[in-house]
Each structure stands twice: as C-alpha cells, then as structure tokens.
Amino acid sequence: METLIFLFSFIILILSIIIHEVAHGSVAYSLGDSTAKNQGRLSLNPISHIDPIGTIFLPLMLSIIPGNSVIIGWAKPVPVNFNNIRDKRWGALKVSLAGPIANFTIALIFSLVIRFMPTIEPEMYAIFQLVVLYNLILAIFNLIPIPPLDGSHILFDLLPQGNYLENLKNFLFRYGFLILVFFIFISPGINWIYDLANTIFNTLSGQMFVSI
C-alpha cells in the first residue's frame, strides 16, 4: 500500500512540476520571449523537464526518510531571456508568479470538485486529494524566498533596488542551495509546509484531509 501511495504521489508530483515550469515558459512567451518554446520546453513531455537532482534524487531520498510524510522536488528551470520581455517593469514578476499560481489553480479546481461532489468514489477521492496536496505544497515551497526558488525572484522583483539588497541577493544566491538543503533535510520546514497545505485543503474542500 505504501509503495502504491508513493507511486501515485510521485506521478502527481512530476506532472504538477511540469505544469509549473510550462506555466513559467508560457507567460514568458505571451510577453514576447520565445526562448522556452524554441527549446521545446513548453511541452508536457517529462523528458524535457527532468532534473536529475530535483526530479529524481530528492523525491526518492525524501521517500525513505523515517517519519517523513511528503515528497517534494523541482524540474529543470525553463530558460527565459528577460531582454525579450515587453513588460520591463512587471514582466519578470509575472513570469516568476506563473508557476505557483498554476499549482494553486490546480489545487483550487480539484478542491472544489471534492467539495461539490460528495459522492465521489473513495479511490478517486484519494487521488484528487493527492493532486490538491502536492500542488499546494509545490506552490508554497516555491514561494519560499531562497534561491533558486521562485520566491527569491519574486522578493527581489518587489523590493526597491539598493546596495544593501545587492549584498543580500549575492549572499542568498551564493549560499541558497545550502540553505535549501538545511530547510529540507534538517529543519522541520517540510513538515510546516505540509501542515499549511493540509489547512488550506480543509478550507477549500470543506473536508478533513485523510492522512496518507
């Protein structure tokens, strides 16, 4: 049973990650940059998006950690040439927000299906709640302001420019990956994200989350 849950979780996670990246590239394309499209990154083909560490190694590692209740990961970032973006003021922010918004939208849609279809089959309910859970987790996780996550780009796009921010930015981009490793494997950060996603699930769907 645990193997089956992991398999479904892994498939849903990968599909949600792909949609996340395609959303970034699609918004960039709509704003004038065709880099992702030209490199075949607007495709839903998983092969175009697999990152060996974020898509394969990290989920597998998290799946074998005792007491860990959720897996997380990322795909290869879509390439964006911001020099081609027409909206010079807010274009980068729109591109950065596109991924988390896509995941939140998917979570909202499936939450409403659960809320307004109370007679849904138990097996389908379990799959739908996994879709909601992992899309909420991905959205929240990517909003954390640690490079290379979207939250870091959103943060620096919103804050006014200044020398002190450049120092902070340089520090985060230099040590961001180490901070991220600490957050995922050492701190209780992933559990906090899971709890927040669980709370949002309960609010949106009107039902208690069935523990997996």
Active site residue 121: no
Q: Which tokens hold the place of 129?
A: 């709640």
* 103 to 16, 86, 106: CA distances (angstroms): 7, 25, 5
| CB atoms closer than 10 angstroms to residue 1 | 5
* 195 to 53, 180, 202: CA distances (angstroms): 25, 19, 11
Distance CA 139, CA 13 (A): 12
Distance CA 210, CA 212 (A): 6
Q: Quick check: 24 and 17 in contact, CB under 8 A?
A: no
Contacts of 168 (CB under 8 A, 6+ apart): none
For residue 145, whether the previous peptide bond is cis, meaning omega lies within 30 degrees of 0, is no
Tell me which of 2, 21, 121, 166 is the catalytic residue. Answer: 21
| Catalytic machinery residues | 21
